[in-house]
Structure 1
Amino acid sequence: MMAVASKLSSIAVIVITFILGFAFFYQISNLPKAQKKHHMEEMASQLINFFIFLWIGKIVLNLSVFVQDPLAILAYPSNSYAFYFAFFACAVTFVYKSKRKNRNIFSYMDSFMITILVASFVYEFIQLVWVNDTFSIGYMILLSVLLLFVLLIRDRIATNTLTLIVLVIWLIGILLLAFIQPYVTIFGYIIAPWFLSLLLAICLIAIVINLRKRVS
């Protein structure tokens, strides 16, 4: 029961950090009100999808336990592999949804970037203050630099280019932290260097494709 309560409290913290992220995005965004609302609805939808996929991943990873005692799965924490599963599942559904509705994926990236950067910073600040996790300091510095960079340059560069640049800097920064510190976490989940390296490779491929499109 305590494990379930702990999990629910951690989910509540993440929800609160994203609410603050949404509020920050709403205040600083130059988009019309209707478009802001639409972007926030899309981000909230993706957040809900992530939690659903996180539970699905947890069930898949503990399938034998789930078959024997479905309620027992509530006591099992969602590990990093469940996080990876949820991340890629959300990415695939978001891309599919965007393609099906014939909309530009990058049109939402500015909103996602600002919201996630703020939510991540608030989460790490809570970890530092609440549980005295000093490993949060390095990540907080990285997030602060990225957020400042985005706010200063977002009106001077194309959204797709800015998104890819920020993703690459973020991934390289976390990779460096992963080698400097015993571990690095994203919203409480320990992230392995191989996962970060895979995402970095995907981003670099996307940059090459983006450059080729410009040339052609």
Structure 2
Amino acid sequence: MAAVSKLFTIGIILLSITAGLISYRFLGELSKEKKKKHMEELISQLINFVIFIWLAKILLNISLFISDPLVVLAYPAGSDAFYLAVVFSASQLFYKSRQGHRDMLSFMDAFVHTFLVASFVYEFIQLVWNGDTYAFGYLSVLITLLAVYILIHGYVKTEILLMVMLIGWTAGMILLSRLQPFVSVFGYLMEEWFILLFFMTSLMVLIFCQRKKGY
């Protein structure tokens, strides 16, 4: 029964991410070639993220993995593994950006679009299908961010848009963490310290990208 529940959760996440990618494919304002390139990069990064979660799960349970690897591999990854996977992914993206392998601002815009839509679909399913009332708070934050994103996209510079989204998401998550017993992203609990760390790291990346492009 637990295995079926886990597979169902994974299915919802995959459905949500697919919806986010489809939304970007049809609603993104870039050329078809650029959108295709960004979608390929997003899918590649998603695959890497899954690998990083597995790697993080092993590193966080290294002693148990050495004695009984199947137990670690079969056990679902927790929030700590998610946090570490985010760090790995951010480091990889930052390295590629410094090496000139990726237009970071353009990629982050594609990521924000996909992430917001995917998160909205996921939380909507949690609220309507699973009856998770705590999903309503995050769903409200996502609706607000999506509305702002649609309204100002194309009217402001990409870095300003990303800054607004980052500040809005961080503020919304911290507010929810104070009002609710917990707040989560795709089922992973978000601690306030991680939200602030994510904000500071993303802010530094944005500043680096602005300077690199000569803004």
Same fold? TM cut 0.5:
yes
**Counterpart Cα distance in 2 of 1:45 and 1:17:** 17
Change (3 A) 1:213 1:25: closer
Q: State the 1:101 CA deviation.
A: 3.3
Answering whether residue 115 of structure 2 is matched by residue 116 of structure 1, we say yes
**Counterpart Cα distance in 2 of 1:205 and 1:56:** 26
Counterpart for residue 157 of structure 1: 156
Counterpart for residue 71 of structure 2: 72
Task: Output the aligned Cα RMSD.
Answer: 2.2
- In structure 1, what residue type is equivalent to 2:16? T
Answering whether residue 164 of structure 2 is matched by residue 133 of structure 1, we say no
**Counterpart Cα distance in 2 of 1:39 and 1:215:** 23
- TM-score, L = length of structure 2: 0.91
Q: Is the 8 A contact 1:172 1:200 kept in 2?
A: no
**Counterpart Cα distance in 2 of 1:109 and 1:212:** 16
Q: 1:26-105, aligned counterparts within 5 Å?
A: 26-105=25-104
Deviates more, 1:63-72 or 1:150-159: 63-72
Counterpart for residue 106 of structure 2: 107
- In structure 1, what residue type is equivalent to 2:73? L
How many residues end up aligned between the 2 structures? 215
- In structure 2, what residue type is equivalent to 1:202? T
Counterpart for residue 144 of structure 1: 143
Q: State the 1:147 CA deviation.
A: 0.7
Change (3 A) 1:25 1:203: same
Deviates more, 1:145-154 or 1:203-212: 203-212
- TM-score, L = length of structure 1: 0.90
Q: Is the 8 A contact 2:104 2:209 kept in 1?
A: no
Q: 1:1-40, aligned counterparts within 5 Å?
A: 2-40=1-39
Identity %: 44
Change (3 A) 1:64 1:208: closer
Change (3 A) 1:105 1:50: same
**Counterpart Cα distance in 1 of 2:176 and 2:110:** 26
Change (3 A) 1:199 1:71: same
**Counterpart Cα distance in 2 of 1:155 and 1:190:** 33
Gaps of 5+ in 1: none
Deviates more, 1:194-203 or 1:180-189: 194-203
Q: State the 1:52 CA deviation.
A: 0.6
